[in-house]
Amino acid sequence: MSGGGWISLHKRIRKSFIWTNSDQYKLWSLCLMKANFKDTKVLFNGKEISVSRGQFITGRDALASEFNDGVPRVHQVVGRTLWRWLHKFETEQMLSITSNPKYSVITITNWDEYQTNDQQLSSSRPSTVHQLSTDNNINNTNNKTTSSGNDGASKVEQNFELLWKLYPRKEGKDVARKAYKRAIKNGATNKAIQDGIVAYRKLVASEGRDKQYIRQGGTWFNQKGWEDEYQTEIPVDTSEPQDDGVHLSADQVKEKARRQREEFDRKYLAEHPKEFEGEENQ
């Protein structure tokens, strides 16, 4: 869990479905308290893992242990139920879940933009302040970047829009925009981000992945998805015989596979905006 401090809950929580379920309310509060207030690295099973603002690492057993700490057994909630509630939160766009066989990364939706807004309201309050929002489409106009009289800001917005247009699941745009600007400020390049999006799109296409299993745009940008390695296995059809009815030889199979891979690559390389070709660190 992140360090000391406190969290803030918006009054709209009373209109949320969790308001009538004390255990779900407790689970949501636990998620907010566990979220990191700044980018950091944590050790998990001896491996260093990068965790972004508004994220935390957990698993079913670990979450159940924290949730039920000090609770009489008769009132404890099993990990399976807690995890089902987390997926309910995800459906309501309160958070997103990225899992692998060892652990899960939970990302609080809109955490960054509401965190920023609270800091503007009072510089004396801790940086671990959060506001609850179950509406992923709420925009805080005080946090929007304006471009009038600022060509640099305008160019950053234009570059982000080019990249956002490429991404396969356009959800969490405000979170993605803020994560993008933070990454560019810290030295990431548009070309690197673009290459990462294209590589991820190739992976999604090669697997025929359903939309629900594609990371939301806000999550991908917030987790610096362009730094991930994507191993793409291109589906290659080598079963068709030649016109004369003779099946392909081993060399012909390799050549056909090579052509199909090149065709697949050309399709996605064509999506690269020309503006980023030869780009250097900005």
Q: How far is Cα 24 from Cα 179, in angstroms, rounded to an integer?
A: 28
Considering the domain architecture, whether residues 9 and 140 belong to the same structural domain is answered as yes
Region 74-83: mean pLDDT is 93
Tell me the per-residue pLDDT of 224-280, one tens digit each, with 9 for 90 and over. Answer: 999 988 876 655 555 555 445 556 677 877 777 777 666 766 665 555 556 676 665
Tell me, yes or no, whether 25 and 83 share the same domain.
yes
Say if residue 95 is in the same domain as residue 185.
Answer: no
Nearest to 8 by CA among 30, 24, 32, 31: 32
> What tokens does 9 get?
């809950």
Q: Determine the Cα–Cα distance for residues 95 and 86; give it in Å rounded to an integer.
A: 8
Residue 275: CB partners within 8 Å, gap ≥ 6? 159, 162, 190
Confidence at residue 252, expressed as pLDDT on a 0 to 100 scale = 77
The structural domain count of the chain equals: 2
pLDDT exceeding 90 applies to what percent of the chain?
Answer: 28
Which of 93, 119, 144 delimits the end of a domain?
144
Is residue 27 predicted with pLDDT exceeding 60?
A: yes
pTM here is 0.44
